[in-house]
Every structure is written in structure tokens, then in C-alpha cells.
């Protein structure tokens, strides 16, 4: 008999692979149907593959897998076995779904301002490798591409996988140069993004690609962290009891009371540490004027809060 705890773990694992599959499908859709037809390259191996696919026609999936597999092997050799099974699975699934979609759908855009035509006209853009032309709607396509990419990558992150690809290059350089990963990601993605201008001579392409990256990042945060916004309040007061009573009984929240001393006079004072959602933070901030108008309050935005009353702690 399988214990209830083990059964729950199996269900969570199955659900994580479901999320992984959905994320890979959405990623392939975003790349083939939105990014590639507009000649954009919002970073990563698939961004570079879009440029190569247009310059030297070969399937995006083939270009990407020829980069992703060596990067995984080199990354494992240099950095050690830090890339989990799910990262390998996501690399394979994205390749498969991209190959299926570009073979079935081709490279026709979903968003455009005119019927796809075989005849070139004013203001039209050629469909990569298809020979047809269409009237582009750059802004709407960019917004949708960023949203789809963000949901896709955020869902892959939620499943416990990572994107791999060009991120491995950043990790390797980070090991030897000690430059921050964030800076290296910006450099690598920036070079890939600028390759669209070098290849096609159109300044709007890297600009829209950067906009895709920006929207994608915001959506990833929403998918991974959720819609709720949390605040952490540090309240220094001479009379903590009324504030404690309001937090516990009115807001029905907990917190921590710390004892410290001021730097100027050295007097001992109490500090309340409380984490709240935005609505409760506004209530407490307004009530503090009535409870203790002399209190000192520091409010900070919290990107993630785990534990009782908030999100549960992850198992891994």
C-alpha cells in the first residue's frame, strides 16, 4: 500500500510535469507564431536561432538543439551536475514542440494588419522562409509575445525546471570572472538582441525585442510569485501593546516583537516586525496615527514570504 504522503508527492510530481509540458508548448507558440515572423530575437538560444533561421533557412528547432545539447554537456562538465532532469526534459520538449509547430504552422504571423499576401506592397514585411508578405502590427505582437513568453517560462520555473540555453554561458563566465549573473545575462541577451540590427539593419527590431524581454520578466514574476503584493513593516514604539492588539485581533495576523536600543541615546525600545498584504498594510499604517503618532515605521516591499499564513515552504 502506498502511504497518503507518498501518493500526494506522486500527484505533485505529475502536476509539475504537466506544468512543464504546458510551459514548453506555450514557449514554442510564442517563438514560432509571434517572435520569428517579426524577425525579433529576445535573448536565449531560440532568439539566436530566429536570426540564423532567417539568414540561412533551417528549422529553428534544429539550430536551437544544436546549441542547447552542447551547452548542457559543457555546463555539466565545468559546473558539475547542477542541471536537473526537468531541465533536460524541458530542453527536449521545447525542441519537439517547436519542430512540430514550425512543420505544421510554418512561420506565418498570428498578428498582422493585412491579409498575408504573395505580393510585396508598401510597409509590408516578408515572412521568413515562406516568401509571402504581411502588414505588421509590431506593438500588439510584441505585447502578446512578451505575455506568452512570460507565462511559458514562469510555468516552466513553477514546475521546478530551468531554461538552460544561454543561461549556462552566463553561469560559466560567472564562475571564472565573478561578474554577477544578472549583469552577464544582460550582456549575453543584449548581444543576441542586437544581432537583429546587425543582420537586418532595422533598429526597431532590437528595440521591440528588448520590450519583449521586459514584458516577459514582469509576467514571469506574476506567474512565479502570484498576484499578491506583500509588505514588511518595522515599527519602533515605546508602547507596543496597542499595536500588537490591533495586529492580532483586528488584522488577525502574527508578527515578532524585538528589543533594541537607539543609537543616539541608547534607550531600550521595542520593535514590531510584521508581514502583511497590501490591504492590511494600509489599514495598519492608517491606524498607527491614532495608536502611536510618535512611532517610527519602515515599510519594505517583500518579493516572497513563505511560512504559516502565507505560501507554504517548498519541499525542494
**Mind listing the pLDDT tens digit of every residue in the chain (316 residues)?**
567 777 777 888 888 889 899 999 999 999 999 998 888 888 888 888 988 988 888 899 999 999 988 888 887 887 776 667 888 888 899 999 999 999 998 888 888 876 666 555 556 777 777 667 778 888 999 999 999 998 998 888 887 776 667 777 777 777 777 776 667 777 888 888 888 888 888 888 899 999 998 898 888 878 876 666 678 888 888 888 888 888 888 888 888 888 877 777 777 788 888 888 777 888 888 888 888 888 888 888 776 666 666 666 555 5
Q: Based on the domain organization, do 199 and 83 belong to the same domain?
A: yes
Closest C-alpha to 292, from 311, 271, 266, 261:
271
Which of 25, 160, 44 lies closest to 95, judged by CA?
Answer: 25
Q: Which of 225, 259, 282 finishes a domain?
A: 225
Let me know if residue 93 belongs to a domain: yes
Residue 309 lies in a domain: no
pTM of this prediction? 0.75
CA 79 to CA 67: how far, in whole Å? Answer: 17
307 falls within a domain: no
Domain-ending residue, one of 179, 205, 225: 225
CATH of the domain at 281: 3.30.70.120
Mark whether 206 and 247 lie in a shared domain: no
Residue 308 lies in a domain: no
Nearest alpha-carbon partner for 71 in 190, 198, 169: 169
pLDDT value for 250: 84
The three cell numbers locating residue 158? 513553477
- Strands 125-126, 256-261: pairing is unpaired
Q: Cα separations (Å) of 191 from 30, 151, 152, 188, 277?
A: 21, 24, 23, 5, 39
212 with 243, same domain: the answer is: no
Helix (H) or strand (E) holding 275: strand 268-277
> Of the candidates 168, 198, 225, which is a domain's last residue?
225
Specify the pLDDT at position 311.
62
**Amino acid 95: pLDDT:** 93
What local confidence, expressed as pLDDT, does residue 14 receive? 86
Residue 210 lies in a domain: yes
Q: Note whether residue 126 is domain-resident.
A: yes
315: in domain: no
User: What residues make up the domain containing 256?
Assistant: 230-302
DSSP notation for 140-164: HHHHHHHHHHHHHHHHHHHTT----
Amino acid at each position: 500500500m502506498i502511504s497518503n504522503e507518498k501518493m500526494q508527492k506522486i500527484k505533485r510530481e505529475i502536476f509539475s510535469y504537466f506544468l512543464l509540458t504546458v510551459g514548453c508548448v506555450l514557449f514554442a507558440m510564442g517563438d514560432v507564431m509571434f517572435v520569428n515572423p517579426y524577425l525579433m530575437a529576445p535573448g536565449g538560444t531560440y532568439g539566436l536561432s530566429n536570426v540564423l533561421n532567417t539568414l540561412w533557412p533551417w528549422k529553428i528547432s534544429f539550430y536551437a538543439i544544436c546549441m542547447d545539447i552542447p551547452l548542457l554537456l559543457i555546463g555539466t562538465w565545468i559546473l558539475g551536475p547542477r542541471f536537473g532532469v526537468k531541465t533536460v526534459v524541458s530542453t527536449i520538449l521545447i525542441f519537439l514542440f517547436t519542430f512540430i509547430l514550425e512543420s505544421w504552422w510554418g512561420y506565418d504571423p498570428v498578428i498582422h494588419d493585412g491579409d498575408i499576401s504573395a505580393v510585396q506592397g508598401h510597409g509590408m514585411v516578408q515572412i521568413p522562409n515562406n516568401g509571402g508578405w504581411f502588414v505588421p502590427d509590431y506593438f500588439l505582437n510584441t505585447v502578446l509575445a512578451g505575455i506568452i513568453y512570460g507565462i511559458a517560462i514562469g510555468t516552466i520555473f513553477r514546475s521546478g525546471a530551468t531554461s538552460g540555453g544561454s543561461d549556462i554561458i552566463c553561469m560559466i563566465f560567472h564562475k571564472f570572472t565573478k561578474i554577477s549573473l544578472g549583469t552577464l545575462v544582460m550582456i549575453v541577451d543584449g548581444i543576441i538582441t542586437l544581432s537583429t540590427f546587425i543582420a537586418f539593419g532595422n533598429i526597431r527590431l532590437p528595440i521591440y525585442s528588448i520590450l519583449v524581454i521586459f514584458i516577459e520578466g514582469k509576467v514571469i514574476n506574476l506567474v512565479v510569485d502570484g498576484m499578491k503584493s506583500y509588505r514588511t513593516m518595522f515599527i519602533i514604539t515605546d508602547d507596543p501593546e496597542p499595536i500588537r492588539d490591533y495586529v492580532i485581533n483586528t488584522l488577525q495576523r502574527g508578527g515578532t516583537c524585538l528589543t533594541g536600543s537607539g543609537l543616539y541615546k541608547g534607550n531600550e525600545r521595542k520593535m514590531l516586525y510584521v508581514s502583511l498584504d497590501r490591504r492590511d498594510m494600509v489599514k495598519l499604517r492608517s491606524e498607527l496615527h491614532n495608536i502611536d503618532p510618535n512611532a517610527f515605521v519602515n515599510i519594505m516591499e517583500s518579493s516572497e514570504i513563505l511560512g504559516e499564513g502565507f505560501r507554504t515552504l517548498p519541499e525542494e
